[in-house]
Amino acid sequence: MNETLSFAAGPTDLPLLDETIGANLDRTVAAHPGRDALVDVPSGRRWTYAEFGRAVDDVARGLIARGVRRGDRVGIWAVNCAEWVLVQYATARIGAIMVNINPAYRMHELEYVLNQSGISFLVASTEYRTSDYRAMVEQVRPSCPQLRETVYIGDPTWQALLDDGASVDPGEPAARQAALGCDDPINIQYTSGTTGFPKGATLSHRNILNNGYWVGELVAYTEQDRVCLPVPFYHCFGMVMGNLAATSHGACIVIPAPSFDPAATLRAVAAERCTSLYGVPTMFIAELDLPDFASHDLGSLRTGIMAGSPCPVEVMKRVVSEMHMAEVSICYGMTETSPVSTQTRRDDDLEHRTATVGRVLPHLQVQVVDPATGEVVPRGTTGELCTRGYSVMLGYWEDPERTAEAIDADGWMHTGDLAVMNPDGYVSIVGRSKDMIIRGGENVYPREVEEFLYRHPAITDVQVVGVPDPRYGEAVCACVVLRDPDAGLTAEEVAEFCRGRLAHYKVPAYVHVVEGFPLTVSGKVRKVELRRTAAEALGL
């Protein structure tokens, strides 16, 4: 294609991995049996690759003993821990489809995901912070008829699962694995829905194994690397770019804490001599801002991955110089593309690492098109970024209509992000054609929050927009029209209404009361104008 157009194809000189996740793990176990595979810092537990392989099989046999079959959906609703990783690889080995459930979900969201994906077996934490997972599962269970069984991590039910597995032939997981294909669905990840409910991006072995592998290749992982993962496993950032990138290269996964804790992260890097550290920009900012930052020995670091939102130049300078991450990489993608489409390279300069999201990965294609016509635009021109190749999801779970809206007839995944491709093939994200809010790396789709807030008795109409926030990049603001304009409504009252029913990151930080919304000629709400006036009114 004409090199003046916004199209780029990644190199294909090295082949894709044509194997399942379990087969790839078997190769790593055979090559590096004595090397560390997994370190769970909070519990002090660690596994070599030989031990990890056996532990994965133990969980697989437990699932088989409980009647889990190929294609069954196994939900995991838990914070970062070793068991999360074991379930990830055990389900892949026997062909069950693991469904990631965000630990921040409350009953409204949990019930929807359990039913929409048809989860029959659930693995969950018992509790975390203010969430009593056990109580929430019991409350939604009557309305989730397909849910047969729940096992709780750190509870006697987890040990009972392993004990039951002892009755299953040790060769059975491998036998089931041998019957699987690379294109089998293996994972469902829910992305917030612009139409009110999350959509289940369905991903195959080929999708996520290869994406993790190539991300690891571009930061030059080997069996010498130790990867610190403070990012959540329920998201592709943790389980694909983290876990699969590590195991496909014989590197070690290091879990610093159940959820992000800046001090625990730096302690883990120092104690485990980690060579790589992951995070969204706000995580790196929090680590750099620790009062005792300078006391942590981070000299073992050489690389890492930053993704989720743009990185400020000054933060990147400090990450490179003060955290010793000279080879840090920026990644861009979305759950529907497994997730990474573009990535900066180890030797890219500061400008490319802060002003762009890199260039296309091997075996993928990206292009920037005119949203109205679908024509590829010239380089340097803004349009919608599209991705094509092995990484594009199989589709949204049991939702062919929305799958067809996202993936066109030529196989291009339309990201909804507005981008510019530079003459050198590097891509910059300049905005969002959808109205998605990115709060500290978490995607918030306004429509989902709006649908929920319409239930509030005081609200007659609502539009949710993102407003500037120094810590999270964007904060959620609800612009509301009240039934009684004299009554007033505070952010605290709205937060109380949402508490326990919406994930914390979706709860509006601000409430802006208006008499009506600015409209286009065709009657659509002009969200760009609403965002601006809300920010001005709130003094942001």
Task: Tell me which DSSP letter residue 376 carries.
Answer: B
Task: Look at 82-91, 383-392, 397-406, 464-473 and tell me which has the smallest mean pLDDT.
Answer: 464-473
Cβ–Cβ under 8 Å, residues 302 and 327 = yes
Q: Where are the beta strands (DSSP E) in 155-235?
A: 185-191, 199-204, 226-228
Per-residue model confidence as pLDDT tens digits over 307-340: 887 777 788 999 999 999 999 999 999 999 999 9
Per-residue model confidence as pLDDT tens digits over 260-292: 999 999 999 999 999 999 998 888 988 998 999
Helices of type H across 226-370: 236-238, 245-247, 262-272, 281-288, 313-322, 350-355
Radius of gyration for the chain, computed over Cα atoms and rounded to the nearest angstrom = 23
Backbone angles phi, psi at 505, to 5 degrees: -75, -15
Work out the angle at residue 253's Cα, subtended by the Cα atoms of residues 40 and 71, and round it to the nearest 5 degrees: 95
The pairs formed by 263-270 with CB atoms below 8 angstroms and a separation of 24 or more are: 263/290, 263/292, 264/41, 264/42, 264/230, 265/228, 265/230, 266/290, 266/293, 266/296, 266/298, 267/41, 267/296, 268/41, 268/228, 269/228, 269/296, 269/298, 269/300, 269/301, 270/296, 270/297, 270/298, 270/300
Backbone angles phi, psi at 142, to 5 degrees: -60, -25
Q: How far apart are CA 25 and CA 213, in angstroms?
A: 12
User: Parallel, antiparallel, or unpaired for β 383-389 and 364-369?
Assistant: antiparallel
More confident residue, 407 or 519: 407
Q: How far apart are CA 431 and CA 310, in angstroms?
A: 11
Task: Look at 79-93, 346-360, 433-447 and tell me which has the smallest mean pLDDT.
Answer: 433-447
Q: What is the pLDDT of residue 505?
A: 92
How many helices and strands, by DSSP H and E, does the chain display?
18, 28
Ranges for all domains in the chain classified under CATH 3.40.50.12780: 21-418
> CA 456 → CA 172, 197, 453, distances in Å?
52, 18, 5
Per-residue model confidence as pLDDT tens digits over 99-120: 999 998 888 889 999 999 999 9
For the stretch 164-184, what's the b/e string if a residue is b when 16 or more beta carbons lie within 10 angstroms of its beta carbon? ebeebeeebbbebbeebebeb
Ranges for all domains in the chain classified under CATH 3.30.300.30: 444-537
Cβ–Cβ under 8 Å, residues 413 and 367 = no
Per-residue model confidence as pLDDT tens digits over 416-469: 888 999 999 999 987 666 677 888 888 787 777 887 888 898 988 888 999 989
Biggest distance spanned by C-alpha atoms of the chain: 71
Backbone angles phi, psi at 502, to 5 degrees: -125, 145
Backbone angles phi, psi at 91, to 5 degrees: -65, -40
Q: What is the pLDDT of residue 522?
A: 45
Cβ–Cβ under 8 Å, residues 511 and 456 = no
Q: What is the pLDDT of residue 523?
A: 54
Task: Look at 58-62, 210-214, 435-439 and tell me which has the smallest mean pLDDT.
Answer: 435-439
Q: What is the pLDDT of residue 448?
A: 77
Q: How far apart are CA 231 and CA 277, in angstroms?
A: 10
Cβ count near 185 (within 10 Å): 19
Cβ–Cβ under 8 Å, residues 388 and 408 = no
Residue of 83, 474, 416, 113 whose CA lies nearest to 280: 474
Cβ–Cβ under 8 Å, residues 112 and 398 = no
Per-residue model confidence as pLDDT tens digits over 455-513: 898 988 888 999 989 888 889 999 998 988 888 888 899 999 998 889 999 999 999 99
Is the peptide bond between 33 and the residue preceding it cis, with omega within 30 degrees of 0? no
More confident residue, 355 or 148: 148
Cα-Cα-Cα-Cα dihedral sign, residues 528, 334, 81, 319 = negative
Which residues have CB under 8 Å from 123's CB, separation 6+? Answer: 74, 75, 76, 77, 78, 83, 87, 150, 151, 152, 153
Q: How far apart are CA 489 and CA 23, in angstroms?
A: 56
Q: What is the pLDDT of residue 1?
A: 60
Which of the four pLDDT bands, split at 50, 70 and 90, describes residue 182? very high
Backbone angles phi, psi at 215, to 5 degrees: -60, -45
Cβ–Cβ under 8 Å, residues 192 and 445 = yes
Q: How far apart are CA 338 and CA 82, in angstroms?
A: 22
Q: Does domain 444-537 have CATH number 3.30.300.30?
A: yes
Cβ–Cβ under 8 Å, residues 238 and 289 = no
Backbone angles phi, psi at 307, to 5 degrees: -155, 175
Which of the four pLDDT bands, split at 50, 70 and 90, describes residue 194? very low
Q: How far apart are CA 5 and CA 375, in angstroms?
A: 10
CATH of 21-418, one of 3.40.50.12780, 3.40.50.1010, 3.50.30.10, 3.40.50.300: 3.40.50.12780
466: buried, middle or exposed (CB in 10 Å: 19+, 13-18, 0-12)? buried
More confident residue, 382 or 167: 167
Q: What is the pLDDT of residue 412?
A: 98
Per-residue model confidence as pLDDT tens digits over 61-76: 999 999 999 999 999 9
